[in-house]
Amino acid sequence: MDISIFKSYDIRGTYPDQLDEDAAYRIGRAYVEFIGAKSIAVGRDNRPSGNGLFKAFAKGATESGADVVDLGIVTTPMVYFAAGSLPVDGAVSLTASHNPPEYNGFKLNRRGAVPIGAGSGMEDIRDLAESGEFKRSPRTGTVSEMEIATGYIDHVVSYADLDDAHLSVVVDTANAVGALELPVFKKLAAHVELATINEELDPSFPNHEANPLKTETLEQLSAAVKKKDAHIGIAYDGDADRVGFIDENGEPVRMDTITTLLSLDILKTYPKSTILYDLRSSKAVAEEIEAAGGTAIQTRVGHAHIKKHMRDVDAVFAGELSGHYYFKDNSYAESATLAAVLVLNMLARSGETLSALAKKVERYHHSGEINSTVKDVDGILGSLLERYGDGEITALDGLKVTYPTWWFNVRASNTEPLLRLNLEADTKELLDEKREELLAIIRS
């Protein structure tokens, strides 16, 4: 089998050349054997390859002795909810997130939505699946179906606190399973006037890529927000574990700005708590958290790493520049819709616009993530270290160098031959200067 499908955070590849039914069967057997599961829950997104891969994975899992609870077509946060609320030993989301339709994959979790990634079992599962040397199980498990969406929807709705507010909201689900999260907003109909775009499930993603991190995918939502004079726009990714926001002017709100706003709100309920932010985020995130009495800790990128870090330091919340928002109250897992509900709560309580709230906490100039295709990652990192060795060096994730008035981070992609650059400066002029300077080295 093609072992390149085993990534740092999940398993992902193109179907059927990289990831086919035989690989899914092997992964099912290896996963169950590795975690010693007697029962697991499995959900999948709406990709055409999902049914066949699920059947093969379930066959492997049952032959290794586990009962499989088939959650059907659901969002990844619903799978995490199942992992934290059902008496199962593990849970799996069969998805390729925002990747094009020809991709599929697996996000593997232990009981309680504890993720399996690099350094926490992914290598063991990979090696066992590749070898095919599985133990003979004394029993064959069963497959049963269960509906999890209702419990999950009620769980998220319980966090709504909209008072007497009446908010106009536009949601873009990008023809992906984020449409299954819409009942949350519909249950809030007394306070939320909901409009949707791209609600129909269509795994070809005909309107745009399901990736709110790319601002060009938000253009349709931006236009809808302005046309309807809405208070906010909400955009999901392909499996609805990430979310992007559009303000009332039709402008995208930076995802680390949302991290800051959510942090300040959560600290009112959990004062003096610890909050994590990924190292690509604006330094304003930590400044605002600390000023509000919380403890801000920088973390590396990736859901598997962040969830472990949250548990290690007992963090109540974590935010990632890619639009992942993690909650201790949600088994330390992401829920894009829970993040959206909390943002709506802020709008209701403050009576302010999203752009006004954002403006209060944005004070620096950030580049956003800039990708460059490269051949010699180590050589480029060496050149950058030599050139900027006089700064404060952090090797938490790739290379981060900090100066008094600017910083940059360069890290290799886990899935593509890319270097990802993020930088921030006190002024736009300095940002422009340093961006060109760094890209000249990276792309030389």
Q: Other C-beta atoms within 10 Å of 353: how many?
A: 15
pLDDT value at position 444? Answer: 87
**DSSP 8-state assignment for residue 181:** G
> Considering its fold, how many domains does the chain have in total?
4
Share of the chain above pLDDT 70, in %: 99
Domain enclosing residue 332, as ranges: 255-361
Are residues 172 and 76 both part of a single domain?
no
Are residues 221 and 175 both part of a single domain?
yes
Confidence of residue 380 (pLDDT cuts 50, 70, 90): very high
**DSSP 8-state assignment for residue 179:** G
pLDDT at position 416 over 80: no
- Return the sign of the alpha-carbon dihedral for residues 383, 389, 390, 393: positive
Q: Is residue 160 part of a domain?
A: no
Confidence of residue 417 (pLDDT cuts 50, 70, 90): confident
Look over the chain and give the mean of its residue pLDDT values, rounded to a whole number.
96
pLDDT value at position 204? Answer: 94
User: Distance between CA atoms of 83 and 262, rounded to whole angstroms?
Assistant: 24
Rg of the chain (C-alpha set): 22
pLDDT value at position 375? Answer: 87
Are residues 407 and 375 both part of a single domain?
yes
pLDDT at position 323 over 80: yes
Share of the chain above pLDDT 90, in %: 95
Are residues 331 and 246 both part of a single domain?
no
pLDDT at position 47 over 70: yes
- pLDDT average, residue stretch 403-423: 90
Do the Cβ atoms of 328 and 354 come closer than 8 Å? no
* Amino acid identity for residue 386 in this structure: E
> What CATH code is carried by the domain that includes residue 425?
3.30.310.50
DSSP result, 297-339: EEE-SSHHHHHHHHHHHT-SEEE-TTS-EEEGGGTTEE-HHHH
pLDDT value at position 67? Answer: 98
pLDDT value at position 228? Answer: 98
User: 86: which 2 tokens?
Assistant: 């059902």
Are residues 355 and 371 both part of a single domain?
no
User: Contacts from 1-5 at CB under 8 Å and sequence distance 24+?
Assistant: 1/26, 1/129, 1/130, 3/126, 3/130, 5/105
> What CATH code is carried by the domain that includes residue 117?
3.40.120.10
User: Which residues touch 154 (CB under 8 Å, ≥6 apart)?
Assistant: none
- pLDDT average, residue stretch 107-136: 96
- pLDDT tens digit sequence for 285-320: 999 999 999 999 999 998 988 999 999 999 999 999
Are residues 259 and 348 both part of a single domain?
yes
- pLDDT tens digit sequence for 59-74: 999 999 999 999 999 9
Distances (CA, A) of 438 to 235, 279, 369, 426, 432: 31, 18, 13, 17, 10
- pLDDT average, residue stretch 399-413: 96
pLDDT value at position 276? Answer: 98
Tell me which residues are annotated as active site. Answer: 97
| Placement of tokens 């490269």 in the chain | 374
* Amino acid identity for residue 9 in this structure: Y
- pLDDT average, residue stretch 270-283: 97
Q: Which of 230, 252, 274 is the last residue of a domain?
A: 252
Number of separate helices (H) and strands (E) present in the chain: 14, 22
Q: Over 5-39, what HEC string results?
A: HECCCCEEEECCCCCCHHHHHHHHHHHHHHHCCCE
Nearest to residue 282, comparing CAs of 400, 370, 364, 355? 364
- pLDDT tens digit sequence for 331-377: 999 999 999 999 999 999 999 999 999 999 999 999 999 999 998 88
Do the Cβ atoms of 34 and 43 come closer than 8 Å? no
User: Distance between CA atoms of 8 and 2, rounded to whole angstroms?
Assistant: 15
User: Distance between CA atoms of 356 and 251, rounded to whole angstroms?
Assistant: 12
Are residues 14 and 134 both part of a single domain?
yes
Are residues 31 and 132 both part of a single domain?
yes
- pLDDT tens digit sequence for 2-17: 999 999 889 999 999 9
- pLDDT average, residue stretch 164-178: 97
Phi/psi of residue 402, nearest 5 degrees: -120, 130
**pTM across the whole model:** 0.95
Are residues 61 and 183 both part of a single domain?
no
Q: Is residue 30 part of a domain?
A: yes
Distances (CA, A) of 84 to 81, 219, 270, 305: 5, 36, 21, 18
Q: Count the residues in the chain.
A: 444
Provide the edge-to-edge strand list for the sheet that holds 167-172. 192-197, 167-172, 232-236, 243-246, 252-253
Are residues 29 and 138 both part of a single domain?
yes
Do the Cβ atoms of 86 and 113 come closer than 8 Å? no
Provide the edge-to-edge strand list for the sheet that holds 325-327. 295-299, 274-278, 317-319, 325-327, 333-334
Q: Other C-beta atoms within 10 Å of 268: how many?
A: 9
The pairing of strands 103-110 and 11-14 is: antiparallel
- pLDDT tens digit sequence for 82-100: 999 999 999 999 999 999 9
Q: Is residue 131 part of a domain?
A: yes
Are residues 33 and 102 both part of a single domain?
yes
pLDDT value at position 415? Answer: 62
Do the Cβ atoms of 81 and 93 come closer than 8 Å? no
Are residues 120 and 236 both part of a single domain?
no
User: Distance between CA atoms of 95 and 104, rounded to whole angstroms?
Assistant: 5
| Placement of tokens 């992992």 in the chain | 83
Q: Which of 92, 120, 149 is the last residue of a domain?
A: 149
Q: Which of 340, 361, 382 is the last residue of a domain?
A: 361
Q: Is residue 156 part of a domain?
A: no
